[in-house]
Amino acid sequence: MTRWAPGVHRSTQPIEPPQQSRTRGWSDVLQVIPAVLKHLHYRTDTHAFAVVIDADASPLHQPAHEAPGGEVEKCRLCQLRRVVAQTQTQLRLVPGRVPVQVAIGTAVPAIEAWYRCGLEPHINEITCLQNPQLGSDFHTRNHLKRYVYGTERPSLTLETQQAVTAAQRLVQSRSVLESLFPNGFGSLARSVRREHSVILTKTIVLLGNL
């Protein structure tokens, strides 16, 4: 089965992740990423691996984290990058395959804020950077869930449906999404642009919506 990937301009073929990639929390995501990367590297011809995780109440990623030695221990984007980099050093080259390219993003304060981009003007990464309490407030994230799903406890099916609907709406507004979520979504977008010659066909996405 192939799918047309918004923003990629070519058809893509989704790759079924290994069973152990099913996660139930942030700590699970950190634990399964090495296994998923190794599976993709040695057992598939996947070209790209995209990981998006909710920031929740963790420290938000900022440009200062990009400087040598500037990464922050509790920043989820910094942690994900560290785990991916450590795993990549352990991988042996496979003849005839290019290394799997990895793109990482953090949704601030949660993925539903991306879905509401352009519709909910008061909750985005910029406002959360200006008012950290807003993003760390559990009620803010529940507010977003009610807006997007009509409930604070959506089913996986409903989450998937709303994610697809939002992606179809936002595909023409990626510049707005990147301007309002410059570090979390911006990191993901920059990685895709940097590796656009590779991230074209077979891609696996691990969404951690915690």
Residue 176, token pair as written in the block? 């707005």
Between residues 121 and 114, which one has the greater pLDDT?
Answer: 114
Per-residue pLDDT tens digits for 10-43: 455 555 555 555 556 788 888 899 999 999 999 8
pTM across the whole model: 0.80
pLDDT at 171: 85
Question: Across residues 193-207, what is the average pLDDT?
Answer: 51
CB of 185 within 8 A of CB of 53? no
Percentage of the chain exceeding pLDDT 70:
80
In this predicted model, what pLDDT tens digit does every residue of 67-91 receive, in sequence order? 888 889 999 999 999 999 999 999 9
Give alpha helix (H) positions in 117-173.
125-130, 132-136, 138-149, 156-170
Taken in order 167, 205, 156, 151, is the CA torsion positive or negative? negative
Cβ 50 vs Cβ 103: under 8 Å: yes
- Predicted confidence at residue 134, as pLDDT, reads 77
Measuring CA to CA, which residue among 61, 96, 35 is closest to residue 185? 61
From 40-44, 72-76, 155-159, 204-208, the region with the lowest mean pLDDT:
204-208
- Identify whether the C-beta of residue 145 lies closer than 8 Å to the C-beta of residue 151: yes
The band of 197, judged by pLDDT with boundaries at 50, 70 and 90, is: very low
The residue that leads in pLDDT, 171 or 205, is 171
pLDDT > 90: percent of the chain: 43
pLDDT at residue 172, as a whole number: 83
Place of tokens 């951690």: 208
Residue from 109, 104, 113, 84 nearest 187 by CA: 104
- Residue 47 binned pLDDT confidence (cut-offs 50, 70, 90): confident
Residues 6+ apart with CB under 8 A from 44: 15, 202
| Phi and psi at residue 103, to the nearest 5° | -120, 130
- Residue 110 is predicted with a pLDDT of 93
- Element spanning 3, H or E: strand 3-4
Number of H helices, E strands in the chain: 9, 5
Domain ranges of the chain: 3-208
- When mean pLDDT is compared across 20-29, 45-54, 66-75, 130-139, the lowest value belongs to 20-29
